[in-house]
Amino acid sequence: MPQTSERKGANSPSFRNVLESFKYWPRILKLLWQTNPLYFLLVFGLNGITSLIPAASVMLTQMLMTQVGIAQQTGILQPVLMVFALFAGLALFREISRIISDNYQAIFSERLSNSINMQLMKKADHLPYRYFEDAEAYDKLQRARQDSSFRPFQIFQQILQIIGGTITLLSVAGVLFYWQWWLALVLLLIPLTSSFSYLRVGEEEFQIDWNRAAERRKQSYFLGLMTTDASVKEVKVFGIGSLLLEKYRQMYERFFKEDKKLLLKRMRITLFFQIVGIGAVIGTQLLVVQQTVAGVLTIAMMMAYIQAIAQTQATSSSLLQTLFVMYQNNLYVSQLFAFLDIEESEESIVQRPYVSTKQAEQTGFVFQNVSFRYPGTDHYVLKNINLQLKPGETLAIVGENGSGKSTLVKLLVRLYELEEGDILYQGRSIRSYSVKAWRDLMGTVFQDFIRYELTARENIALGNWREAEHAEAVEMAAKNSGATTVLERLPLGLDTQLGKWFKEGVQLSGGQWQKIAIARAYMRDAALFVLDEPSAALDPKAEKEVFDKFAELTVDKMGIFISHRYSTVRNADRIIFMQQGEILESGTHASLMKRNGSYAVLYQMQAAAYIDNQEQQSPA
Please report, as ranges, the residues that interact with ligand ATP according to CB under 6 A.
Answer: 133, 374, 377, 381, 399, 401-407
Specify whether the CB–CB gap between 146 and 66 falls below 8 A.
no
Ranges of H-type helices in 482-539: 484-488, 510-522
Runs of H (alpha helix) within 212-298: 213-227, 229-238, 241-293
Determine the Cα–Cα distance for residues 305 and 286; give it in Å rounded to an integer.
Answer: 11
User: What CA–CA distance (Å, rounded) separates 25 from 21?
Assistant: 9
Residue 424 near residue 365 (C-beta atoms within 8 A): yes
Give the Cα separation of 498 and 545 in Å (integer). 23
Strands 365-373 and 420-425: antiparallel
CA angle at 91 for the pair 86 and 96, rounded to the nearest 5°: 125
CA geometry: angle at 366 spanning 365 and 370, to 5°? 130
| Cα atoms in the 13 Å half-sphere on the side-chain side of 581 | 12
State the pairing for strand pair 558-562/528-532.
parallel
The percent of the chain in helix, strand and coil, each rounded to the nearest 5, is 65, 10, 20
DSSP 433-473: S-HHHHHTTEEEE-TT----SSBHHHHHHGGGGGGTT-HHH
Q: Residue 309: which of 282, 336, 328 has the closest Cα?
A: 282
Question: Which residues is 1 bridged to in the sheet?
Answer: none
Backbone torsion region of residue 393, taken as left when φ is above 0, otherwise alpha when ψ lies between -120 and 50, otherwise beta: beta
E runs forming strands in 464-611: 528-532, 558-562, 574-579, 582-587
Using DSSP, state whether 352 is helix, strand or coil: coil
* Residue 509 CB coordination number (10 Å): 11
Instruction: Identify the three-state secondary structure at position 576.
Output: strand
Query: Residue 590, Cα to own-chain centre: how many angstroms?
Result: 51
The sign of the CA dihedral 494, 500, 504, 508 is: positive
- Contact 339/424 with Cβ under 8 angstroms? no
Could you tell me whether strands 380-389 and 582-587 are parallel, antiparallel, or unpaired per DSSP bridges?
Answer: unpaired
> In angstroms, rounded to a whole number, what is the distance separating the alpha carbons of residues 481 and 476?
9
Please tell me the number of Cα atoms within 13 Å of 68 on its side-chain side: 10
Q: What is the DSSP string of 171-227?
A: HHHHHHHHHHHHHHHHHHHHHHHHHHHHHHHHHHHHHHHHHTHHHHHHHHHHHHHHH
Burial tier of 240 (Cβ tally within 10 Å: 0-12, 13-18, 19+) = middle
